[in-house]
Structures are given as C-alpha cells and as structure tokens.
Amino acid sequence: MAYSDKVVDHYNNPRNVGTLDKSSTEVGTGLVGAPECGDVMRLQIRVNPETQVIEEAKFKTFGCGSAIASSSLATEWIKGRTVEDALAIKNTDIVKELSLPPVKIHCSVLAEDAIRAAIGDWKKKNGAAEAAAAAASAQ
C-alpha cells in the first residue's frame, strides 16, 4: 500500500518523540492500543497550570507508519493549544491531513483517543490535586 507524502514525512522525521516525567502533576499520560494490528501508542502532555496551555507534547508509538504519523501529527497540533481546544481535534481531521486510506482510519482514532486519554489523566491528577488543596485550606 502506498503511503501519502505526509505520512512518509512524519514517519521519517517524527516530531516530538520522547518521554515526559510521568509523576509530575503537570504531565498527563495516555496509553492506548489497537489489538487488531498490535499497535501501542503513548502520548504525553505538559500543561501550564496557570494558562491551561499544552506547552509540551511527546509521543512514542510502536506500530505501522500511519500510526506513527497520526501520533506525530497529533503532538504537533495540540502543542500551544489549551486543553479544551485540544479536545476539539477529531480523528477525521487527522485522516484528511494525512490522506489515510479506509483501512488505516483506526490509526487516527487511536491518536484521538490518545489525546483524550492524556488530557483525562492530567485532569484526574489535577482534580485530585485541587481537591487535596481545598481540603488542606479548609482545615
């Protein structure tokens, strides 16, 4: 199957590959996978607690070219956005940008799910942190 130029570009020069400190409260981690093709994708964000802006995004994906390209593109797109703006990204946007064929649509779904999972993890951590802070100030 022929990959589009954009997929090849992201595959050969993946943006934002790497790891952020999982234990930091500013960092959210999303780990998702597609059993049908055996892909695993980890996407991490570091959010500025003042502005809610995603200042850093990193990913590591084991899988096909489309899965790598989808997650690479996802990190590019969410960087500089607020958490709420990042949630507006749809898998169909990724499909369009990368011209993914129908059999590779699940790769874009995976990338969208990874964004949501990372933000969900960050919210959970910070919801918990806020609750702890509120409890502490109440005492």
Partner 1 sequence: MLKDADSAVPVACWSCSVQHDEVTMFCPHCGKIQPPPGGDYFSVFGMEPRLNLDLAALEGEFHRLSRRLHPDRFARATECEREWSLADTALLNDAYRTLKDGLRRTEYVLTLHGAGNGTHIGSGFETQIAEEQNGKERQNASRAPADLLEEVFDLNMQLEEMRLRRQSGNVDRQSGKVNRELIEDLRAAKRKFETLREEVDRDLRGAWNDWDGGAADTRRRAQTNLRTLLDRRRYLSNLVRDVSEALGE
Tokens for 104?
């590779």
31, 34, 37, 87: the active-site residue: 37
Mark 78-97 with x for binding to partner 1 (rule: CB under 8 A) and - for no binding. --------------------
41, 107, 114, 115: the active-site residue: 107
Stretch in the footprint of partner 1 (CB under 8 A) among 3-11, 38-46, 49-57, 72-80: 38-46
**Are the CB atoms for 56 and 46 separated by under 8 Å?**
yes
32 binds partner 1 (CB under 8 A): yes
Q: C-beta of 117: minimal distance to partner 1 in Å?
A: 7
Residue from the set 47, 69, 83, 110 that interacts with partner 1 by CB under 8 A: 110
Stretch in the footprint of partner 1 (CB under 8 A) among 10-18, 46-54, 75-83, 107-115: 107-115
Q: Which residue has the tokens 């509120």?
A: 134
- The Cα 69–Cα 12 span in angstroms is 9
Indicate if 37 belongs to the active site.
yes
Indicate if 64 belongs to the active site.
no
For partner 1, the binding residues (CB under 8 A) are 31-36, 38, 40, 42, 60, 62, 102, 105-106, 109-110, 113-114, 117
